[in-house]
Chains A and B, each alone.
Chain A
Amino acid sequence: DIQMTQSPSSLSASVGDRVTITCRASQSISSYLNWYQQKPGKAPNLLIYAASSLQSGVPSRFSGSGSGTDFTLTISSLQPEDFATYYCQQTYSIPRTFGGGTKVEIK
């Protein structure tokens, strides 16, 4: 199975900050990497697919990059509604594993 490791597991940031979350795969997954946002009590919401493609309706302050084993999710200017938990997911192979999550909290 492919293991997905996210870092950090949590971070504190202020509105307007630039935030970067990293995700590392235990083997190459090409660009089969997605990012989801989850708010408390809600279902996950797809933000980025294929490592760097922005899902329809997602604000342009979100961006993704990387290929192979190392990926990043960047929020260019953190907004109040962005405080949430973020998960990466590989869809290169079965099982479709998720990272452990990164909780973005208000500083």
Chain B
Amino acid sequence: EVQLVESGGGLVQPGGSLRLSCAASGFTFSNYNMNWVRQAPGKGLEWVSYISSSSSTIYYADSVKGRFTISRDNAKNSLYLQMNSLRDEDTAVYYCAREDRSGWYISFDYWGQGTLVTVSS
């Protein structure tokens, strides 16, 4: 069974840092590209970042570029999001999501349960 379990969320002051983790199991993690998606309270979904299976390709949303760093450790079946210079508007539930590219299409076929990040003084 595919499982993605996020951790590391919590309360942090503006300007602070936090590192999120996503532990993957039930599939060959090193074969899949991964993403982070966030959802502010009562709002819609916002794609945050992408990392390819080998870490060779990385993308960020403009809203987090220069402040967030995505990484992965295939030996540990883990995905990470280092978040620095946090702002009030970064308050959200953060989800990790597996990217399915088994065909010509691309979809996010499995998601974690999410971890809440609250940025507040």
Which A residues are within 8 Å of any B CB, using their own CB? 31-32, 34, 36, 38, 42-46, 49-50, 53, 55, 87, 89, 91, 94-101
Contacts and interface: CB of A to CB of B under 8 A. Distances in A.
Contact of B50 (A38, A53, A94, A101): A94
Q: A34, A44, A50, A96 — which one has the most chain B CB atoms within 10 A of its CB?
A: A96
Contacts of B31: none
7 contacts: A31-B105, A43-B113, A44-B37, A44-B108, A49-B100, A50-B104, A50-B105
Contacts of A38: 45
Given A50-B103, A94-B50, A94-B59, A44 B109 contact: no
Contacts of A95: 47, 59, 61-62
A42 B93 CA distance: 10
Contact of B108 (A89, A94, A100): A89
B105 A32 contact: yes
B107 interface: yes
Interface in B16-53: 35, 37, 44-47, 50
Mostly, the A contact residues are: loop
Given A95-B61, A98-B44, 16 more contacts: A32-B105, A43-B95, A44-B37, A44-B111, A49-B107, A50-B104, A53-B105, A87-B44, A87-B45, A89-B45, A91-B106, A91-B107, A94-B50, A96-B35, A96-B47, A99-B44
B58 to A, nearest CB: 10
Contacts of B61: 95
B118 to A, nearest CB: 16
> Sorted from nearest, which 9 A-B pairs have the closest CB atoms?
A50-B105, A91-B106, A49-B107, A43-B111, A98-B45, A96-B47, A101-B44, A34-B107, A94-B59
